[in-house]
Structure 1
Amino acid sequence: MSAYSVALVALILGNLAASLSDVSVKMLNGNVSPFQYMFVRQLVSLLIIFPLWLRQPRQQRQLSNIKTTALRAHLVLIGSGCMLVAITYLPLATANAVFYAAPILMLPLSMWLLKEKPTNNKILATLFGFCGVLIVLRPQHFHWAAGFALVTAFTLALFNILAKRIPAQQTVVTTLMWTSMFSLPIAAILASSNWQPMTFGQAGWIAFSALLILSYNGLAVFAYQKTTANQIALAEYSGLLFVVFFGVIWFDEIPDALTWLGIGMIVLPLLPKIKIFGKRDKKKTYQCQ
């Protein structure tokens, strides 16, 4: 197989893992508090990534830009907690459509934090995508959980923007390890404030979710190292198809025509090699971990 084919398969498998992570969260059915979910997920992530971090040379284990990493760690907590609420009370397709608005939100954030000056085409594409978000949410039928989905999208966007302040020579394993480490103290305090007993099944779903998200991260890094981002970025949107499929077969969630229209409007401006809004830039995906 060519490098392109290998990267494409890896990215699709990564998005399948991320979609199954959402299913794992949905299976909790709101019976685990967001604080407990945040703590257990980050603890499991740390236990998985720590041995990989130790296997690195001493120099690669060093952390750069502690403040940014700590801030990103707490964005993970906020985003994952809000994600739990959104997925619990919204159809998988609706919640994920809003999550995919994160790259759209990155435009105003990059203007504010990075002083970037977007082209008119990018501004037009952002407005078009935001209209898609409004169609998916349909303000006249607005569900309160949609607010949590929007917060998740915002934290994902800010998480990605801040990644530009992390030195390129810092490894992904090191970044993930310290992100998990910094997030644990606050997560532990919040979880212990109102801890409720969990079943082995609930703990298992959370651990499975954490493992799947780490799998996505690893497969995505592998894929983007194999080829250029604009060649395979389209595969990122396989995740939306996966969650729609899982929502139909496991939760009897059938998207209506307006939801499909809104999803299309969100995804279209983000697709590579689409000239409706001008030449596309390279795109790196987001994931709250």
Structure 2
Amino acid sequence: MNRTTLAMLLLVIGNALALISDAFVKAYSGDVPVAQFVLVRTLITLVFLFPFVLRSTRRRLASGWKVQVVRAQISVFGTICMVVALNHLSLATANAIFYAAPVIVMVLAVVLFKEQLTRASLTAVVFGFVGVLVILRPVEIGWQSLAAVGVAFSLAINVLLIRRLSAEQSPMEMLLVMHVFMLPALTVISLFHWTPVTVDIALGALGSSFFILCYNMTVLIAYRWAEANKITSSEYTGMIWAILGGWVVFGEVPDAYLLIGSGMIVIPLVWLALSEQRMLKSSVSDNHVNSRRKLQAAES
């Protein structure tokens, strides 16, 4: 088994771990003030992250701190929205809307960075937008559904803001600094509706934090082992895990709207990833042929 195959397998496993994290949120955060649950989860996450940054320097940790402050506040909003969405929507429905994030990234990249959409990208954007509408069914849109859309937007904006961060920071350092900057806002919000931290709160926050960090580790390793364009499509197996997990653990049977809408979001994204992979292979092949022709011409 080569490294690319192993990397794809890691992403499949990683997305299953992310789904377990969502399941902990759904199972244990329903009777807790949302901001307080997120605060406890953030503190536990910092404990997990600390050993990975023991050798970091102050200069590296402080690099790009202004951008990290912005990302942290967006993450506070997005994480609170995530807890709300998971508590009121099925796992599959919430995750299907979360998967609109790559579509939003493409649109915002055009608006903010003047990037050009290819025909394949434009198709993914259009189908993704329609897919979200199919899942939400505009006549049934409520604040729970809007919370899931808020998660997708926060994920997309944070992805774009990564471009503004220093390349010398490791992913673990980025995560640590961002979570530190999340604490002030979460603390202030939590104080308005503070309740005693029960075993359920601690267990839910611990499980969610642990498994989402495991997911982050699998992603980090996978993208170091193989080129992103070769393995990205494996990320979308998360939708399959969400449908299966919701069905087996919570008895959530997906309806036709969810299945059709999810397909409209995920299939074009997978097709886009595969088409970009073919284009890259074609480009590499053409460059190789041109190099051989130049070499033959030089020799003759």
Give me the TM-score of the superposition, normalised by structure 1. 0.90
Could you tell me how far 1:107 is from its partner in structure 2? Answer: 2.0
> Cα deviation per residue 1:210-254 (whole Å; 9 max; x = unaligned)?
111111111101000000112211211121111111111121111
Q: Which residue of 2 aligns with 1:11?
A: 11
Could you tell me how far 1:58 is from its partner in structure 2? Answer: 2.9
SS in 2 for 1:231: helix
SS in 1 for 2:62: coil
Q: Which residue of 1 aligns with 2:241?
A: 242
CA RMSD of superposed structures (Å):
2.0
Q: 1:168 to 1:103 in 2, by over 3 A?
A: same
Partner amino acid, structure 1, of 2:38: M
Q: 1:202 to 1:273 in 2, by over 3 A?
A: closer
Could you tell me how far 1:65 is from its partner in structure 2? Answer: 1.4
Q: Which residue of 2 aligns with 1:105?
A: 104
Partner amino acid, structure 1, of 2:126: L
Q: Does the aligned pair in 1 maintain the 2:36–2:194 contact within 8 Å?
A: yes
Q: 1:57 to 1:40 in 2, by over 3 A?
A: closer
Count of aligned residue pairs for this structure pair = 279
Could you tell me how far 1:145 is from its partner in structure 2? Answer: 0.4
Could you tell me how far 1:34 is from its partner in structure 2? Answer: 1.4
Q: Does the aligned pair in 2 maintain the 1:63–1:174 contact within 8 Å?
A: no
Q: Which residue of 1 aligns with 2:51?
A: 51
Q: 1:201 to 1:111 in 2, by over 3 A?
A: same
Show structure 1 runs of 4+ deviating over 4 A.
272-275, 277-281
Q: Does the aligned pair in 1 maintain the 2:18–2:212 contact within 8 Å?
A: yes
CA distance in 2, matches of 1:143, 1:223: 37
Aligned-residue identity in percent: 36
- Give the gaps of 5 or more residues in structure 1: 282-289
Q: Which residue of 1 aligns with 2:296?
A: none
SS in 2 for 1:195: coil
CA distance in 2, matches of 1:29, 1:38: 9
SS in 1 for 2:262: helix
Based on CA coordinates, which of the two structures has the bigger radius of gyration?
2
Could you tell me how far 1:61 is from its partner in structure 2? Answer: 4.0
Residue 27 in 1 paired to residue 27 in 2?
yes
Partner amino acid, structure 1, of 2:83: L
Q: Does the aligned pair in 2 maintain the 1:128–1:265 contact within 8 Å?
A: yes
Residue 216 in 1 paired to residue 219 in 2?
no
Q: Which has the higher helix share?
A: 2
Q: Does the aligned pair in 1 maintain the 2:124–2:265 contact within 8 Å?
A: no
Q: Which residue of 1 aligns with 2:293?
A: none
Partner amino acid, structure 1, of 2:36: Q
Q: Which residue of 1 aligns with 2:181?
A: 182
Q: 1:278 to 1:119 in 2, by over 3 A?
A: farther
> Cα deviation per residue 1:95-128 (whole Å; 9 max; x = unaligned)?
1000000011112211222232323442232011
Q: Does the aligned pair in 2 maintain the 1:3–1:227 contact within 8 Å?
A: yes
Q: Which residue of 2 aligns with 1:39?
A: 39
CA distance in 2, matches of 1:38, 1:29: 9
Q: Does the aligned pair in 2 maintain the 1:92–1:247 contact within 8 Å?
A: yes
Partner amino acid, structure 2, of 1:33: P
Q: 1:280 to 1:104 in 2, by over 3 A?
A: farther
> Cα deviation per residue 1:9-52 (whole Å; 9 max; x = unaligned)?
22122111100011001102521111102211111111111121
CA distance in 1, matches of 2:39, 2:267: 35
- Give the gaps of 5 or more residues in structure 2: 281-300
> Cα deviation per residue 1:120-155 (whole Å; 9 max; x = unaligned)?
442232011110110011112323300000011000
Matches within 5 A, 1:110-125: 110-125=109-124
CA distance in 2, matches of 1:144, 1:222: 37
Q: Does the aligned pair in 1 maintain the 2:3–2:226 contact within 8 Å?
A: yes
Residue 165 in 1 paired to residue 164 in 2?
yes
Partner amino acid, structure 1, of 2:30: G
CA distance in 2, matches of 1:51, 1:191: 27
Residue 73 in 1 paired to residue 72 in 2?
yes
Q: Which residue of 2 aligns with 1:129?
A: 128
Q: Does the aligned pair in 2 maintain the 1:24–1:206 contact within 8 Å?
A: yes
CA distance in 1, matches of 2:149, 2:184: 25
Is the deviation greater in 179-188 or in 5-14? 5-14
Q: Which residue of 1 aligns with 2:288?
A: none
CA distance in 2, matches of 1:278, 1:121: 12
